[in-house]
């Protein structure tokens, strides 16, 4: 049987399985909004672990990261810094976000910030930032899915059709089963993705080079420029290395689809275990990615789209069944992030916009159906964005991360009580200045002085937030005591 | 509950150990160290280029700190 038949069949079998899980999740649904959006805040450790890691690692893990190792060499091993830092952020910040969500009924990032800063303007701005920058992520994942399916089918399924099929399936099981469907499919996707990357990479490495150690020796002999910094194109200088550490740790954790996972945990202890253990999965997934990207630079040099190195090597060198299973794993990786972003955008638009300002007194059943309609709308937007522009995947992820990163000063003001209070005017001014700086450092003077654009934007944001907060009215004493008091109790009175 | 002091400062000895060790290890994986002392292919460590092995060791140590923090219930 031809490789493309095996690969495409396995991917479609996986899609059918995902839809079946969505149907079952729909039957188990309790019908209320908190169940549809947060699975009733009942997620235990194993499910939460797998959904967080599956959501964090996306098409990027299969495509973008291999492409980056291929083009820029060992510098992308900097990924270990941000994946481990994510664990620490989850432990410290994630547990506090959980505690506040549990105590005060938060569902979205805007709920948390609007409550503390006593501001509808903060709610609206946070909702806009949350949706705007994660829509870019939909584009990244959808494009990744299009590449995977077109590569798996030997271009018999076009990029556009592949993108559409996979978007429709993800939107389908989400609309059926809400967050429960997302989590169940993420459990499957988290396991499959990890196994697929490792097995695929090791099979290729042994077949083409005789094993990882032989690959390293051959790289040192033929392409030593790939094994040192800053890499062949000078990308991984000090500024970019440090900047990616910050942007791809805080920037991803603060995106709504990750923050919503914190809210959905059954206890603070689960979040702390998550923080301590998710880096093991997140960091080690880049080990086989390095083998694929660096090995690909030796055997398939000069690719116009380095992002496709993993699927291309699989189709050409791996047994058809293995190639199919790994590509189905790649599909799982992209869909696990895509469905989470569709869900989080739907949640923000339903809760922070529709429920808050359009129909505040409707029933949960009404809001669930509004959410389903929004999923359909997001599907259309995501598809249009995916097929009309083509961009380097990793760069899109960085843009997405740096946008959500601008929420950091405001969130720290809520979750980390300190000597000075941030104010709503300060937070809003900081976000505005951060966004303008981000634009300048991305498009006018890209990565000025070799420093990552996200770092510039965050620095300008922090400076502005603190400066403006000094001269503007803080939240009321009652609100500060209520929310910071809850944090103090949670962290130091062991109420997790 | 009244806030006793800033949450940016650890309040226990173990808290200080955790923060200092984690940030110290992170510093070993950041410039200038990673772009200078660690930025080499040799010496090979168990058949793996030095920079790669060095960073792997630092990452594992950082995860170790996180696991220690969780076990201590910080």
Sequence-ordered list of residues with C-beta below 8 angstroms from that of B53, at least 6 positions apart, any chain: B45, B46
CA–CA gap between residue A206 and residue A260 (Å, rounded)? 41
The residue count for chain B: 74
pTM of the model: 0.90
| Euclidean distance between CA atoms A276 and A65, whole angstroms | 24
Q: What is the pLDDT of residue B36?
A: 95
CB contact under 8 A, B41 and A227: yes
pLDDT one-digit tens code per residue, A226-253? 999 999 999 999 999 999 999 889 988 8
Chain center to CA of A457 = 20
Nearest CA among A235, A189, A449, A465 for reference residue A340: A189
CA–CA separation, A409 and A457 (whole Å)? 12
pLDDT band for position A28 (cuts 50, 70, 90)? confident
Q: How many other C-beta atoms can be found within 10 angstroms of the C-beta atom of residue B72?
A: 12
The alpha helices in A364-452, defined as continuous H runs, are 364-388, 393-405, 408-415, 424-439
Per DSSP, A232 falls in state T
Between A103-107, A291-295, A385-389, B66-70, the lowest mean confidence (pLDDT) is in A385-389
The ipTM value here is 0.95
Q: What is the mean pLDDT of residues A48-63?
A: 84
Annotated domain spans of chain B: 13-72
Residue of B nearest to A484 (CA): B3
Residue A163, classified by CB atoms within 10 Å of its CB into exposed (0-12), middle (13-18) or buried (19+), is buried
Please, which residues 22-61 of chain B have a Cβ atom closer than 8 Å to chain A? 22, 26, 29-32, 34-35, 39-41, 44, 47-49, 51-52, 55-56, 58-59
Question: Residues near A144 by Cβ (< 8 Å), separated by ≥ 6?
Answer: A58, A59, A60, A62, A63, A64, A307, A330, A334, A393
Best of A53, A223, A228 to substitute, by most chain B Cβ atoms within 10 angstroms, is A228
Tell me which residue in A81, A220, A272 faces B49 most closely, judged by beta carbons. Answer: A220
CA distances from A212 to A199, A206, B34, B55 (A): 13, 7, 23, 17
**Tell me: domain A3-393, CATH 1.20.1730.10, correct?**
yes
Tell me the CA distances in angstroms from A197 to A58, A85, A140, A152, one per residue in order: 12, 22, 19, 15
Most A CBs within 10 Å: which of B1, B46, B67, as the mutation test of the A interface? B1
Q: Each residue of A311-321: pLDDT tens digit? A: 889 888 988 88
Give the span between the Cα atoms of A49 and A51, in whole angstroms: 6
Domain residue ranges in chain A: 3-393
CA A163 remoteness from chain centre: 18
Contact B7 A290 (CB under 8 A): no
């Amino acid at each position: 049987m031809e490789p493309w038949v095996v690969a495409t069949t396995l991917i479609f079998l996986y899609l059918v399985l995902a839809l079946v899980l969505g149907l079952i999740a729909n039957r188990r649904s309790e019908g209320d909004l908190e169940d549809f959006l947060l699975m009733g805040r009942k997620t235990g450790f194993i499910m939460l672990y797998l959904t967080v890691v599956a959501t964090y690692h996306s098409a990027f893990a299969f495509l973008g990261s291999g492409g980056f190792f291929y083009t820029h060499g060992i510098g992308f091993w900097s990924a270990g810094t941000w994946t481990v830092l994510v664990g620490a952020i989850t432990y410290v910040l994630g547990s506090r976000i959980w505690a506040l969500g549990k105590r005060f009924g938060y569902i979205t990032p805007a709920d948390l910030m609007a409550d503390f800063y006593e501001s509808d303007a903060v709610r609206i701005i946070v909702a806009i930032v949350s949706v705007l920058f994660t829509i870019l992520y939909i584009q990244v994942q959808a494009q990744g899915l299009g590449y995977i399916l077109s590569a798996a089918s030997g271009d018999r399924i076009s990029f556009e059709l592949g993108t559409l099929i996979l978007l429709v399936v993800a939107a389908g099981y989400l609309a059926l089963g809400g967050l429960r469907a997302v989590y169940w499919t993420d459990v499957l996707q988290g396991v499959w993705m990890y196994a697929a990357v490792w097995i695929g990479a090791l099979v290729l490495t042994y077949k083409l080079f005789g094993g990882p150690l032989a690959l390293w020796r051959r790289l040192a002999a033929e392409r030593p420029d790939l094994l040192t910094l800053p890499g062949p194109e000078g990308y991984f200088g000090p500024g970019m290395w440090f900047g990616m550490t910050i942007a791809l740790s805080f920037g991803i954790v603060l995106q709504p689809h990750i923050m919503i996972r914190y809210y959905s945990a059954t206890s603070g202890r689960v979040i702390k275990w998550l923080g301590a253990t998710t880096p093991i999965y997140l960091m080690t997934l880049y080990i086989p990615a390095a083998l694929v990207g660096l090995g690909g630079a030796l055997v398939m040099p000069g690719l116009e789209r380095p992002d496709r190195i993993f699927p291309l090597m699989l189709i050409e060198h791996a047994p058809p069944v293995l190639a199919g299973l790994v590509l189905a794993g790649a599909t799982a990786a992209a869909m696990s992030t895509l469905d989470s972003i569709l869900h989080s955008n739907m949640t923000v638009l339903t809760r922070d916009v529709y429920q808050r300002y359009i129909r505040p007194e409707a029933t949960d059943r009404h809001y669930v159906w509004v959410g389903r309609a929004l999923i359909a709308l997001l599907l259309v937007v995501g598809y249009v964005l995916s097929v009309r522009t083509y961009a380097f995947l990793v760069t899109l992820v960085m843009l997405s991360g740096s946008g959500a990163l601008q929420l950091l000063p405001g969130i720290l003001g809520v979750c980390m009580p300190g000597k000075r209070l941030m104010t709503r005017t300060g937070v809003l001014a900081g976000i505005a200045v951060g966004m303008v700086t981000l634009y300048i450092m991305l498009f006018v003077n890209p990565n000025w002085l070799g420093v990552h654009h996200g770092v510039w934007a965050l620095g300008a944001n922090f400076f502005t937030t603190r400066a403006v907060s000094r001269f503007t009215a803080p939240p009321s004493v009652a609100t500060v005591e209520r929310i910071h008091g809850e944090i103090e109790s949670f962290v130091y009175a062991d109420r997790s | 509950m009244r806030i006793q002091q800033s949450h940016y400062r650890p309040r226990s000895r173990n808290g200080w150990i955790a923060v200092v060790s984690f940030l110290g290890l992170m510093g070993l994986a950041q410039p200038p160290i990673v772009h200078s002392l660690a930025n080499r292919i040799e010496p090979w460590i168990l058949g793996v280029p030095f920079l790669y092995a060095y960073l792997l060791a630092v990452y594992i140590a950082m995860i170790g700190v996180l696991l220690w923090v969780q076990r201590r219930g910080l």
